[in-house]
Amino acid sequence: MDSSGRLASGIKETQVYKDIYFFDEGDGRNKKLLGGKGAGLCEMKQLGLPVPPGLIITTEVCNRFYDNGGKLPDGLMDHVREAMRKLEQMTDKKFGGSKNPLLVSVRSGAAISMPGMMDTVLDLGLNEDTLQGLVEQSGDERFAYDTYRRFIQLFGKVVLGVNDELFSRVFEEAKRKRGAKSDDELLTEGLKDVVQKFKRLVHEQTGELFPSDPYLQLEKAIAAVFRSWNGKRCVDYRREFKITPDLANGTAANIVTMVFGNLAGDSLTGVVFTRDPATGEKRLYGDYLTNAQGEDVVAGVRTPKPIDKLRQEMPAGYETLLQISDKLERHFKEPQDLEFTVEGGKLYMLQTRNAKMNAEALVRTSVEMVKEGILTREESILRIKPDDLEQLLHRRIDPKAQPKKIASGINASPGATFGKVVFDADEAERRGRTGQKVILVREETKPEDIHGFFAAQGILTNRGGKTSHAAVVARGMGKPCVVGCSDIRISGGQFSVGQIVVNEGDIITIDGTNGSVYLGEIPTIDPEPTPELTELLQWADEFRRLGVRANADTPEGAQLARKLGAEGIGLCRTERMFNATDRLPIVVDMILADTKEERMRALDKLLLLQKRDFKEILKAMQGHPVTIRLLDPPLHEFLPSAEQLRERLKALPARGEDAAELSTIQKMLEKVKALSEVNPMLGHRGVRVGLTYPEIYEMQVEAIFEATAELIQDGVKPEPQIMVPQVAMREELIPVKQIVDKVRKQVEEKFRFEISIMFGTMIEVVRACVCADRIAELADFFSFGTNDLTQGTFSFSREDAENKFLPFYIDAGILTENPFQTLDANGVGRLMEIAVQLGRKIKPQLEIGICGEHGGDPKSIELCNHLNLTYVSCSPYRIPLARLAAAHASLRPN
Amino acid sequence: MDSSGRLASGIKETQVYKDIYFFDEGDGRNKKLLGGKGAGLCEMKQLGLPVPPGLIITTEVCNRFYDNGGKLPDGLMDHVREAMRKLEQMTDKKFGGSKNPLLVSVRSGAAISMPGMMDTVLDLGLNEDTLQGLVEQSGDERFAYDTYRRFIQLFGKVVLGVNDELFSRVFEEAKRKRGAKSDDELLTEGLKDVVQKFKRLVHEQTGELFPSDPYLQLEKAIAAVFRSWNGKRCVDYRREFKITPDLANGTAANIVTMVFGNLAGDSLTGVVFTRDPATGEKRLYGDYLTNAQGEDVVAGVRTPKPIDKLRQEMPAGYETLLQISDKLERHFKEPQDLEFTVEGGKLYMLQTRNAKMNAEALVRTSVEMVKEGILTREESILRIKPDDLEQLLHRRIDPKAQPKKIASGINASPGATFGKVVFDADEAERRGRTGQKVILVREETKPEDIHGFFAAQGILTNRGGKTSHAAVVARGMGKPCVVGCSDIRISGGQFSVGQIVVNEGDIITIDGTNGSVYLGEIPTIDPEPTPELTELLQWADEFRRLGVRANADTPEGAQLARKLGAEGIGLCRTERMFNATDRLPIVVDMILADTKEERMRALDKLLLLQKRDFKEILKAMQGHPVTIRLLDPPLHEFLPSAEQLRERLKALPARGEDAAELSTIQKMLEKVKALSEVNPMLGHRGVRVGLTYPEIYEMQVEAIFEATAELIQDGVKPEPQIMVPQVAMREELIPVKQIVDKVRKQVEEKFRFEISIMFGTMIEVVRACVCADRIAELADFFSFGTNDLTQGTFSFSREDAENKFLPFYIDAGILTENPFQTLDANGVGRLMEIAVQLGRKIKPQLEIGICGEHGGDPKSIELCNHLNLTYVSCSPYRIPLARLAAAHASLRPN
């Protein structure tokens, strides 16, 4: 079982279950069968918390529903009737009774929470008869009609498929007609009118009368909840969050006795987190609405009151909530996200689930819950998915920019970002697909906007609080979000703040950390790790076996990497140094050189510059290894493209005053043509260039040795390693090793001391994997280049595949993941295994790392740990993630 | 030991040898130590044949010569002196004696024969003193001076490095001055004059007097012979023919008592093959020259008499030669290439070596020597290198062409070919490098022309016989060659035949099978296998385990493949059918289709055409499997290039009358851009196209099933196999298998009988190798595509590599062979081994083949046999070669 509760429980599939469980009998650990909501209600009930009586129709029934062609299984409704009779006994109410009627909600709930993605019906059981019973029971006619119109609208939309807009229009029209500014200003007569119009609307839209038989209502509602499991937005969500059938398969339907937050007087409904989900601070965090039903809070229709207010308005209720929070946290070992309703002064718990938090909150709660004795260190590490840390190091507004904000809202999900304003989700998706950065700006968001969230850089809403749909979803995705920004007015394809008008397509910047909105693109800067993160990662370091190094090509990158915990540089690309503006012209001279002598002149200039680069980076990392890769890209990458050169030729004056330039461009064009390749990925690059132009590698090796020697003289402890790219055979390494040995001897003679530099190779060509034993005879270390290795293994060109068939392959389930993001364990992983085994057969202590993108991917890191690599190397900002993932891999070995 | 004598003997390196062996003591099997020539002389001596007394300085001494910085090892000359004293005793002559002088030749000879590549000195030991002795001894002053002038010229050239042209000029001038038409018309006085002038020439050119001390001559000659082992042309030759140090390392120097074919009277010298090296016919074949030394025959300076003439001129000598031939053939189990000299009526054997023959002769002699009881069938198969068969199926002049020949010469090496006339080897090489086909036309060729032979399609010479340099080398290379074509006159960058003038660069056709020369390019046709080849290959079939199939896409190809012994079609490429002129427009429509419906319309048309293709090819191969590969290339290959389309756009009339065409071209251009790829080799092709456009594969599968069903109805027995290209994962095969199953069901229902078609996959992506077990769950067969597999394994793009770094890699010894020509056993072979092992773990009887170029390469076939593949598939013309190579692999398992 999974103590973190963040993954599905491991209950065996073969067990046979009942179709229906009451909250006091269901096994709360079995989320897969009962769904998260049902399981939470069972747990709470069995912990003795105030939960309205209710029952769960299992996910297993949902699956039978689909097997049965979308119909409820035979006999199910007989069981439901039996259960409802028991519920009537428990509540002392009568379902469909004209006296003291029992009303219920029918709520969806899958094993994995998908907030707002599936359907729920409230207030079910109402008809003209039971309505009178409700009036009598509550003594509040307006409440009863308000409940009835809510029921017709929700049932009409969710179960009967009537467009929600049509209901809203009728309701708004009624409010307008009677001068009601807010929903609660519409009184009984108005609501009666609305009820009749709603019924007529349903009849018009569906051709049938609104069903009045409560059991028919119930049957239809259960089927609708099951159906919503396969609704489009639900399927999209599962694909996006990789919720596969083994994690959650079907939804349960929960039938819960209604309690009413929309009664007059001491009634309210709220949503609360046991800790602040944006910061992790230990305090109740959330909102409530008096005289409202739960959906009003979540949907963000009315701006609710912050939960602190409840402490004053209802001190006893607040205190009870605090106690319940504490109990639930210690039980679940996770901060909880609670729904509650107070009906006439009495508190009922309607839901508990593990709180979705952003990474900062996850980290802080992890560290604090260890200190509170709730979690062990191992548990605190394992409860955080390494991917979550990616959003942790959020970019923030550069303080030097001192921008002027145009509006403020609620800081719902941290981080600063910019993009073009769009006002609907489809447009966001359309522009996103073409690579544009967009900010989705909405009055409020609804579950059907989910595709717009995926496409957007950030979200800005006019209404809603920290628990509104927009806030919850944005936090889940780690995207900056500002909600409840009532300063802005949205209408007709633009929004305005005072005199300022922002049109669709204009760029704005939002800062979800403090809720600010700015015009235009504001510069942002890199984040700093929090003290909690630093502490957590120190714990992770104690558990992990795998080393973590960084990819960095500059002294600044090296310093950042050290600060974030890198134990060395696993990949220092020398070609980036070639591309610097002061170098490129020399590199071009070198490439265009007609003779070896000309080439040597250019190389001599580069030697001095590269030596300085290496000195700086080796100094920044002193005492830690720095793996310097010799030149890798094909030479044509340093030249302009043929097309660019042809353009330049065209632009030259016709009369030929620029004879010198003309000749240079023509020479360059010839060289570009000579160097052009049909498949550059598989072309003249890496060690192939190093062998055909040995003077280039010789220059680089000399720069490394000289830099090392000079640093040693200065008392610094440089630890360079020389790495050869694109090696396919031992025979390619021999001449490079000869160069290294020759240069070593020269420099040692010059400086009169010994210089020891490890010599190794990338393993990024398939052939190197299967011949790794022979290569290990020459190499002191290996470093997997799994991007190239993946290309060679699949015969996929990454550039082409990701734009062409790869998305199709993933959609069609041919690939479960993009192999360029997550290592393909069965193909590439197998080759790596062969390489490790062959390499260590020759040198049992062979240092073997991985550099490149996969080195910062948690699943890939797990595989690297399994393959017994020495270290992973990734970009500096992924170092924290990699440290955590490495600890996970150790704590949860395959 | 190798009974064929075609490979180096297996004598261990560690044995310690003497420096010098006499012919009656050397072990003739140890060619590596004694060189081929020395070993042959020992064998002949020990068989009791008439060999002039002589001795061998071993190849091992040659190696010490190089270790010693190009100087003879200390003490060697003491041993030589001692041996010369023994030789004096054996011959009863005196080296350097003014009475009865002993003259010797110093001859090179490595383990592997490299005709004409190394140096030899004749008549050594002459000076003014010994000359008088020779006059006395022979009683022929002219002979003595002739011998002396030969010695000075040859020694001057070979040992002292004087330009041979200078000697020739002096000699020709002397002839001219005295009105001598041929060499033997120059009498004693003239020769005396030549000798003086030669000596002066040597003095002028070298600054030293011609050495008169015979031991000094001998010492210098031995060193020169050793030096010639590392001469440029010798090194080139060894690289071209892959003669590595383990096969031959250094040359021996043979010191042989001179016998004189240039004595007046019953003296002659000749070169003879024991069987016709061009046809294999059992008869003496060769030429001789009366009053000449051996070099005159080989160099082609004078046109010699055919050996048949000797039967009349010297019947006893001829008979002796016949007996010796027979004895040597039975001893060596190979036809021999003999050098002999008759001095005063007495026959001496100067050399025997295995005859170089063209493939036709090799095959015929193989078959006949089995019938004569000289060879076993196994020996007869193993003595032919599979590569040799490549030249066997020579193209010949199309009989329908009925061209008029302009000249005739001697048919020295068979086959018809055409090319541009060039008159020197450098020019041939220069043009050859740019891809031009050339015919090298020369008065006669010399060893220094060897680079021109490599570059030329064929060779035409004005002088020389069937054993001239040109003839021997061309036959060795399997290139068409016509020699002794005295009809043509070469001068000043052109040749003429009667009124016809052919300039450099003009195209001619030569037919080395019958010695004809034609103007222009004459059409040639494919060859037929000879009865001997058919018989030999039937023997080979009995020994081989590996199946042999052909790559063929047309009914004609299929028929040819059957005729040449293919047991099925291992690769039938369907895209070639797409490219036929009647199909391409439909294919283009299919690609440009905006909707699935438009695409389906085009596909429906293609369906009918493909069905017809398949019916024809399946019928041609009935009873044998035909593996049909579904569409493989990326779709853009069927469209014009963007550049071509832009040209077409430019060419359109400006006023827009061609709006329709304009729009089509623009649409095509857009599509071409959309389909363009950075690395097409790794792009959207093979099954990736098949999965993204399933209707294409569905059409092809339907065409295959329908064709099969209709043939079954007609009583034909089709055996199609459906093969999916570019598969990297099992998951790609699943949807294709579903298509196949669906179509199978449809067609079975339509025809009302069961249709069984094997379903399999190419293994050409690295990942497929390491996941072959999972793939074998779905595939009935595998077929390795080792071209793509090699690209993926090395990360080499073939197109790029072969033009860029691959030649450098091979020159530098980083690769010993082009991995696209010969399978890389250690890399690609290792992956194949994994695939075979994993595949057969799931299906022990899994059929596994290889298609593509490697399937026709002997070394690769050997590897395939070793890997236990089911069959190899190659182009029809390589089928005979593959059958032989497969037999070799069985007879000589790893």
Query: Could A684 and B800 be called an inter-chain contact, meaning their C-beta atoms sit closer than 8 Å?
Result: yes
The whole-number average pLDDT for the span A646-652 is 80
Task: Please tell me the distance in Å from B467's CA to the nearest CA on chain A.
Answer: 42
Is any Cβ of chain A less than 8 angstroms from the Cβ of B765?
Answer: yes
Taking alpha carbons only, the member of B283, B287, B284, B285 closest to residue B303 is: B287
Is any Cβ of chain A less than 8 angstroms from the Cβ of B248?
Answer: no
Residue A9 has what pLDDT?
42
Task: Please tell me the distance in Å from A232's CA to the nearest CA on chain B.
Answer: 23
- Rounded distance, CA B441 to CA B733, Å? 57
Contacts of B535 (CB under 8 A, 6+ apart): B367
- Rounded distance, CA B684 to CA B676, Å? 10
Is any Cβ of chain B less than 8 angstroms from the Cβ of A828?
Answer: yes
Query: Measured between CB atoms, which of B692, B732, B796 is closest to A682?
Result: B796
Write the CA distances from B815 to A732, A860, B245, B795, integer angstroms: 9, 34, 16, 15
Summary mean pLDDT of chain B: 90
Query: Measured between CB atoms, which of B726, B770, B800 is closest to A683?
Result: B800
Residue B667 has what pLDDT?
86
Tokens coding B590: 């299919």
* pTM of full prediction above 0.80: no
Does the structure show a pLDDT above 50 at A777?
yes
- Rounded distance, CA B575 to CA B630, Å? 8
Higher pLDDT, B468 or B772: B772
Q: Which residues of B touch A733 (CB under 8 A)?
A: none
Q: Which residues of A touch B808 (CB under 8 A)?
A: 691-692
Query: Measured between CB atoms, which of B764, B814, B826 is closest to A691?
Result: B814
Q: Which of A851, A854, A864, A888 is catalytic?
A: A851
Please give the residue of chain B at the shortest CA–CA distance from A680. Answer: B679
Strand segments (E) across A335-443: 336-343, 346-354, 396-397, 405-408, 410-413, 416-422, 438-442
Q: Which residues of B touch A813 (CB under 8 A)?
A: 731
Does the structure show a pLDDT above 70 at A553?
yes
Count Cα neighbours of B889 within 13 Å in the Cβ-side half-sphere. 28
Residue A678 has what pLDDT?
82
Query: Could B767 and A794 be called an inter-chain contact, meaning their C-beta atoms sit closer than 8 Å?
Result: yes
**pLDDT digits over B200-250, tens only?**
999 999 999 999 999 999 999 999 999 999 988 888 888 877 888 888 889
Is any Cβ of chain A less than 8 angstroms from the Cβ of B639?
Answer: no
Higher pLDDT, A491 or B2: A491
B/e letters for B795-810, b = 16+ CB within 10 Å, e = fewer, are: bbbbbbbeebbbeebe
Count Cα neighbours of B258 within 13 Å in the Cβ-side half-sphere. 30
Q: Which residues of B touch A824 (CB under 8 A)?
A: 767
Question: What residue type is A800 in one-letter code?
Answer: D
Taking alpha carbons only, the member of B351, B354, B350 closest to residue B334 is: B354
**pLDDT digits over A258-316, tens only?**
999 988 778 999 999 999 988 899 999 999 998 888 777 666 667 789 999 999 999 99
Nearest-10 Cα torsion for A135, A138, A140, A141: -10
The whole-number average pLDDT for the span A742-752 is 97
To test the contact with chain B by mutation, choose from A732, A791, A795 the residue with the greatest count of B C-beta atoms within 10 A, namely A795
To test the contact with chain B by mutation, choose from A730, A770, A797 the residue with the greatest count of B C-beta atoms within 10 A, namely A770
Residue A879 has what pLDDT?
93
Neighbours of A708 (CB within 10 A): 25
**pLDDT digits over A496-541, tens only?**
998 999 999 999 999 998 899 999 999 988 778 889 999 999 999 9
Taking alpha carbons only, the member of A39, A472, A40, A513 closest to residue A287 is: A472
Q: If you search the block for the tokens 């496409």, which residue do you land on?
A: A455
Residue A668 has what pLDDT?
86
To test the contact with chain B by mutation, choose from A678, A766, A784, A823 the residue with the greatest count of B C-beta atoms within 10 A, namely A766
To test the contact with chain A by mutation, choose from B684, B729, B733, B767 the residue with the greatest count of A C-beta atoms within 10 A, namely B767
Contacts of A365 (CB under 8 A, 6+ apart): A275, A280, A282, A335, A357
Is any Cβ of chain A less than 8 angstroms from the Cβ of B771?
Answer: yes
**pLDDT digits over B861-886, tens only?**
999 999 999 999 998 888 999 999 99
**pLDDT digits over B677-733, tens only?**
888 888 889 999 999 999 999 999 999 999 999 999 999 999 999 999 999 999 999
User: Would you say A465 and A484 are in contact if contact means Cβ atoms under 8 Å apart?
Assistant: yes
Contacts of A631 (CB under 8 A, 6+ apart): A574, A575, A578, A686, A689, A690, A696, A697, A700, A725
Question: How would residue A735 be classed by pLDDT, with cut points 50, 70 and 90?
Answer: very high
- Rounded distance, CA A164 to CA A158, Å? 9
Query: Measured between CB atoms, which of A682, A764, A831 is closest to B770?
Result: A831
Q: Which residues of A touch B791 (CB under 8 A)?
A: 682, 795
Is any Cβ of chain A less than 8 angstroms from the Cβ of B98?
Answer: no
- Predicted-complex ipTM score: 0.77
Name which of A343-347, A543-547, B847-851 the model is least confident about: A343-347
Query: Measured between CB atoms, which of A677, A682, A808 is closest to B791?
Result: A682
A20-22 sheet: strands from edge to edge: A20-22, A54-57, A251-257, A104-110, A120-124
Does the structure show a pLDDT above 60 at B659?
yes
Residue A476 has what pLDDT?
65
To test the contact with chain A by mutation, choose from B671, B673, B679, B724 the residue with the greatest count of A C-beta atoms within 10 A, namely B679
Higher pLDDT, A445 or A863: A863
Question: How would residue B581 be classed by pLDDT, with cut points 50, 70 and 90?
Answer: confident
> Number of Cβ pairs closer than 8 Å across A and B?
179
- Cβ within 8 Å of B, A 728-757: 728-729, 731-732, 735
Is any Cβ of chain A less than 8 angstroms from the Cβ of B555?
Answer: no
Please state whether B248 falls in left (phi above 0), alpha (psi between -120 and 50) or beta: beta
User: Would you say B21 and B56 are in contact if contact means Cβ atoms under 8 Å apart?
Assistant: yes
Residue B855 has what pLDDT?
93
- Rounded distance, CA A864 to CA A832, Å? 9
Query: Measured between CB atoms, which of B729, B795, B812 is closest to A765?
Result: B795
**pLDDT digits over A787-819, tens only?**
999 999 999 988 788 778 888 898 888 998 889
- Rounded distance, CA A650 to CA B172, Å? 63
- Rounded distance, CA A443 to CA A462, Å? 5
Contacts of A108 (CB under 8 A, 6+ apart): A35, A37, A118, A119, A120, A225, A228, A229, A251, A252, A253, A254
Is any Cβ of chain A less than 8 angstroms from the Cβ of B166?
Answer: no
The whole-number average pLDDT for the span B590-616 is 91
The whole-number average pLDDT for the span B328-334 is 96
- Rounded distance, CA A635 to CA A684, Å? 8
Query: Could A731 and B813 be called an inter-chain contact, meaning their C-beta atoms sit closer than 8 Å?
Result: yes
Is any Cβ of chain B less than 8 angstroms from the Cβ of A794?
Answer: yes
Question: How would residue B1 be classed by pLDDT, with cut points 50, 70 and 90?
Answer: very low
Query: Could A766 and B794 be called an inter-chain contact, meaning their C-beta atoms sit closer than 8 Å?
Result: yes
- Rounded distance, CA A295 to CA A782, Å? 57
User: Would you say A149 and A198 are in contact if contact means Cβ atoms under 8 Å apart?
Assistant: yes
Is any Cβ of chain B less than 8 angstroms from the Cβ of A688?
Answer: yes
Tokens coding B626: 């035909």
Does the structure show a pLDDT above 50 at A2?
no
Summary mean pLDDT of chain A: 90
- Rounded distance, CA B415 to CA B479, Å? 7
Query: Could B692 and A805 be called an inter-chain contact, meaning their C-beta atoms sit closer than 8 Å?
Result: yes
Instruction: List residues of B with catalytic annotation.
Output: 469, 851
Is any Cβ of chain A less than 8 angstroms from the Cβ of B805?
Answer: yes
Query: Could B805 and A770 be called an inter-chain contact, meaning their C-beta atoms sit closer than 8 Å?
Result: no
User: Would you say A455 and A426 are in contact if contact means Cβ atoms under 8 Å apart?
Assistant: no
- Rounded distance, CA A323 to CA A846, Å? 56
